[in-house]
Amino acid sequence: MTHPAVMSADLAWLLDDVVDRVPGAEHAVAISPDGLLLAASRHAGAVEADQLSTVAAGLYALSVAAGRHTEFGAVKQITAEMRSKFLFVTATAGGAILTVVFAGDSEVDSIAYEMALFAGRADRHLPAFTALASPMP
């Protein structure tokens, strides 16, 4: 599958901005709905960015499937709390998936707010993936 061109410099700048500005943010990636890595923050190495992309695509796909097969509705945001980290996954209105890793002692309410703002800002720098995506309200 081919994807429209992405302005990766602008998108990488946004990913870096979130990591630099939001307390506890460590790494960020943007992926297409089918898991293709579009951009990564400067602190995410190539292997880590690929692994994070794969995990985010899987979590998002499972969440979308759960929403479709239950009465719970569309996926707004996914939060995974691990022993020492948080993983936040959200999709833009255009269907791209944004994922940020946060330190385990981060303020979850602040993270959720920042991720919603981030999705809106990043959407302007991403193509719409209407064929694959399940739009978020």
- Alpha carbon distances (Å) from 115 to 43, 71, 77, 107: 18, 25, 9, 12
- pLDDT of the residue at 45: 86
Whether residue 129 lies inside any domain: the answer is: no
Whether residue 65 lies inside any domain: the answer is: yes
- Alpha carbon distances (Å) from 117 to 71, 84, 113: 27, 24, 6
pLDDT tens across 48-100, in order?
999 999 999 999 999 988 888 888 877 888 999 999 999 999 988 888 899 99
Whether residue 68 lies inside any domain: the answer is: yes
Q: Which domain holds residue 22?
A: 8-123
- Alpha carbon distances (Å) from 6 to 36, 106, 127: 12, 30, 7
Q: What is the pTM of this model?
A: 0.82
Whether residue 42 lies inside any domain: the answer is: yes
Whether residue 130 lies inside any domain: the answer is: no
For residues 113-129, average pLDDT: 79
- Tell me what percent of the residues of the chain surpass a pLDDT of 90: 36
Whether residue 131 lies inside any domain: the answer is: no
- pLDDT of the residue at 8: 59
Mean predicted lDDT score pLDDT of the chain: 83
Whether residue 2 lies inside any domain: the answer is: no
Number of folded domains that form the chain: 1
Residue among 64, 96, 95 nearest 78 (CA): 64
CATH of the domain at 106: 3.30.450.30
